[in-house]
Amino acid sequence: MLKNKLDTTLKSICQYLKPVTYAENSYITEAGKPMDLMLFILDGVITWTSNTTSDAVTTAGSSIVTNLSHLEKGGLYGEELLSWVSPSSSLSTLPILAQDVKCQEKVEAFVINAVQLKIAVSELGMLWKNYYTSNNSQLSLPSDQTYLQIQKETYGQLEGTRLEEIEDEGSRQKFKIMMKEKDIHEWLSRNGIHEDLKTKVMRHINLKNIAVQNMDADVDLKYLNTHLPFDITISLKKHLCISTLKQVSMLQSMPEDMFTYICYRLEPVIYTQNSNVVQAGESLDFMLIITGEQLEELAHRRDKMDQILNETYVKYGTTKLEEIEDEELRQKVKVMIKEKDILEWVSRNVLDVDLKTQIMMHLKLNNIIEKSIDADVNVEYFKSHLPFDIATSLTKHLCISVLKKVPMLQSMPEDMFTYICYRLEPVIYAESSNIVRAGEPFDLMLIIIEGTIICTDQVIRNTRTITKYLNKGDFCGEELLSWASPNILFSGAAPISTRDVKCQTKVEAFILKASKLRSLVSEYSFKWISNFNNNCDNSEQSEELVLQPDKIEQILNETYKKLGITKLEEIEDEGLRKKVKIMMKEKDILEWVSRNGLDEDLKTQIMMHLKLNNIIEKSIDADVNVEYFKSHLPFDIAISLTKHLCISVLKKVPMLQSMPEDMFTYICYKLEPMIYTENSNIVRAGESLEYVLIIIQGTIIFTDMMTSKYLNKGDFCGEELLSWASPNIMFLGPAPLSTGEVKSQTKVEAFVLKADKLRSLVSEYSSKWISNFNNSAVGGV
């Protein structure tokens, strides 16, 4: 990607490079973390694993092969970061690493971090963009909208950076320039400038280095008028002024081009607070069009409207809108009333002045108040009439502070709350309406923006009723978070509500639906797993937060007792019977993973995948065993499970005890799960020994002419095959013959390494195998 760059471009990047040394076996970065650096290797070797998909079709779909990749002296790691910083990229966040990157030996390198690379590319501006797009045939010059989006994302990435944190003076200066450009961008947004015009302004500012040359100047109308070319300033004036000029009674019959001619003659002016614009008795020698909407104006506008409305009613001898006979006047009064309602709503919800201004500007400039004159002013009104960026800012303002109060979400990183806000939907409930009744699925989480909700719990044991009132800023339905979380495995339909939830008053709210929550957890599963608070103790569904087989057993027993039955088949209700079957299956899965000593991280990944993909329901009648997990888990999780179950056994095989660690991983890639029923023959005496076998569960009996030997969980069988496949032994031809009979005493779960896979492995890694295979340990069972 840097191959065709000019020397000046490369030198610009080089000035940010810093030398770094990594010790042998140290981690440069780890899986799941953002790729936030690019590394130029001067000496040493770094390694990581990468997955590739083959075209060969297997029973489980495409075959995935994991390769061990490495880079040596002269190599460049982190090239993906160049795509992230380049103008044509649509990436909004740093790429997330799928693997650990580790030093095989001591490494000397130069490094540049993501922020410094972003500053370097920003400094190069169009020079970078032109070379990047012209030398990548699959990439085209980004559209204006893409260009603007890239700038927005760049400014967003600067949010967490503070000037005083930057030590290098050059970097500090560049950071200040980017912040000045951000101020210009915000001024344009605040004044409702449309995307095309905003893009033209920002392109010119960037290309002409205007922010650099005017670092200390205030960003206002005069600043832009001074530094922008004529065509762009005229477009700005027309956007800011024509709608106001058309409201002047004496100009309402003017043709469209006259308004343009007026704009040619307009001059920008800035007045400081409390300055005199004109005093009584002085000549009035100009007409003024006000473009800045200030906090004071918004704060007092409501009261002014009340005054004007009252005066209007008195003047026309009426107390009601309907009694005004003049149609035009009645329409104007309706608009004023609607605007007053909007101002009251935004004030009541304590929006900051920038957001308040953006909302009011958009509604006015697009005549939305007039067009939706009869619509109620509520959260649905704003969500449906505002553009995505303003609507999202409004949602975040109203909801993030509430989400942060939810105990199960208190450890989530900031960006997760933004992702949740993207999926929230506004909803309005009428007074006395039911949101959910006890016994119905609770398939949403609700954040109250306005109004009061009553939650009524019926406590059966002592027939008590518990009533709880929820008001503005409260949340309801956090049980859904438990249901969707990786450690709460009651799969299937959404949880059943244990209470009646009803509106005491009209309620405005945002809701997170079950389907949207599932989608969110699936898309950001790593962050969710890492930060979801499973241990919070104030959830009313705390019993569901315990992933223990005996807890499910207790719930099943209580269910049977309540229904007066002793087995599943006696449950008449089909829906309830299905839910009980799912619970029983979850209990089997939990018992299996616990019995096999899986660590919490791996256990969580397995349960998460099974739940998010509804595998428990889809395979409700399948036996829970090693084949079940191998067939239903993705490659990376399945390999982790295989390694957990098998590597400790492989290391006990005498012929393999000198093998390096990575060889055991390569062996695990070749292993296949196998199930043997009780009393089945695995191999008979005199038959070909076709595989090495690792026992996961059950008992095998090996019998020859002299003895019988019992092999159990954690034992292995068939290591003669290792000798046969070794290049040092070279027993060519078919696999060796078994000297005894191998039979399963019980049902057996196992992994097998087939002869052809073993031969393939030895051929692929022959040097390592020859160097480390222990020939002196050759022997049978």
Give tens-digit pLDDT for 197-216: 888 888 888 778 888 887 88
How far apart CA 396 and CA 416 sit, in angstroms, is: 11
What element of type H or E holds 327?
helix 327-348
CB count within 10 Å of CB 126 equals: 11
HSE value, Cβ hemisphere, 13 Å, CA-based, for 567: 1
**Among 766, 694, 756, 757, residue whose Cα is nearest residue 728:** 766
Low-confidence ranges of the chain (pLDDT < 50): 1, 3-6, 51-65, 90-92, 131-145, 294-300, 460-461, 487-491, 535-547, 731, 778-781
Q: Across the beta sheet with 425-429, what order do the strands follow?
A: 425-429, 507-513, 444-450, 475-476
Sheet holding 101-103, edge to edge: 27-29, 101-103, 46-58, 61-71
* Structure confidence at residue 628 (pLDDT): 94
Residue identified by tokens 């104006």 is 297
If DSSP codes are grouped into helix, strand and coil, which group holds residue 716?
strand
Please, are residues 154 and 84 in contact by the beta-carbon 8 Å criterion? Answer: no
- Residue 323 buriedness (CB in 10 A; 0-12 / 13-18 / 19+): exposed
What pLDDT score does 31 carry? 78
Secondary structure (3-state) at 247: coil
d(CA 243, CA 380): 27
**The pLDDT value given to residue 535:** 47
Q: How far, in Å, are 69, 99, 118 from residue 102 at the CA level?
A: 11, 10, 25
* Residue of 3, 236, 260 whose CA lies nearest to 132: 3
> What is the reported pLDDT for 140?
38
The residues, ordered by sequence, that sit 6+ positions from 745 with a Cβ below 8 Å of its Cβ are 678, 679, 698, 699, 700, 701, 710
Structure tokens at 507: 């309620």
Q: DSSP labels for 732-774?
A: -SSPPBPSSEEEESS-EEEEEEEHHHHHHHHHHTHHHHHHH--
552 C-beta neighbours (distance < 10 Å), count: 21
- Domains (ranges, CATH) in the chain? 7-51+68-134 (2.60.120.10), 169-265 (no CATH), 294-377 (no CATH), 424-534 (2.60.120.10), 551-624 (no CATH), 655-778 (2.60.120.10)
pLDDT at 580: 80
Whole-angstrom Cα distance, residue 100 to residue 735? 38
Amino acid at 741: E
What's the sign of the alpha-carbon dihedral 388, 393, 398, 399? positive
Taking the CB of residue 588, how many other CB atoms lie within 10 A of it?
A: 17
DSSP state of 174: H
Please state the three-class secondary structure of 683-701 as a single string: ECCCCECCEEEEEEECCEE
Longest dimension (CA), the chain: 126
- In angstroms, the CA 588 to CA 566 distance is 19
Give the number of residues written for the chain.
781
CB 429 within 8 A of CB 435: yes
Which one-letter DSSP state was computed for residue 622?
A: S
**DSSP-derived secondary structure for 37-59:** EEEEEEES-EEEEEEEEEEEEET
Which residues does residue 66 pair with via DSSP β-bridges, in sequence order?
51
Three-state DSSP at 294 gives coil
Closest CA to 510 of 385, 386, 696, 378: 378
* 201, 233 contact by CB (below 8 A): no
Q: Report helix, strand or coil for 28.
A: strand
Closest CA to 669 of 47, 48, 30, 51: 51
Inter-CA distances, 303 with 47, 306, 309, 315, 316, Å: 68, 5, 10, 18, 20
Radius of gyration of the chain (CA): 35
Using CA atoms, how far apart are residues 456 and 461, in angstroms rounded to an integer? 15
Write the CA distances from 182 to 93, 185, 211, 418, integer angstroms: 18, 5, 10, 21
Token pair, residue 777, equals 């340990």
Distance CA 702, CA 650 (A): 19
DSSP 96-132: BPSS-EEESS-EEEEEEEHHHHHHHHHHHTHHHHHHH
CB 114 within 8 A of CB 22: no
Secondary structure of 406-458 in HEC code, one letter for each residue: CHHHCCCCHHHHHHHHHHCEEEEECCCCEEECCCCECCEEEEEEECCEEEEEE
CA–CA separation, 143 vs 146, rounded Å?
5
- What is the residue-wise DSSP string for 334-345? HHHHHHHHHHHH
346-360: pLDDT as tens digits: 889 988 877 888 888
Q: What angle do CA 418, 424, 428 make, to 5 degrees?
A: 145
Q: Residue 507, Cβ neighbours under 10 Å: how many?
A: 26
Distance CA 781, CA 64 (A): 34
Residue 43 identity? D
What angle, rounded to 10 degrees, do the helices at 114-124 and 126-134 form? 90
CA atoms of 260 and 236, how far apart (whole Å): 11
For position 354, what pLDDT does the model report? 76
Residue pair 44/106 in contact by the 8 Å Cβ criterion: yes
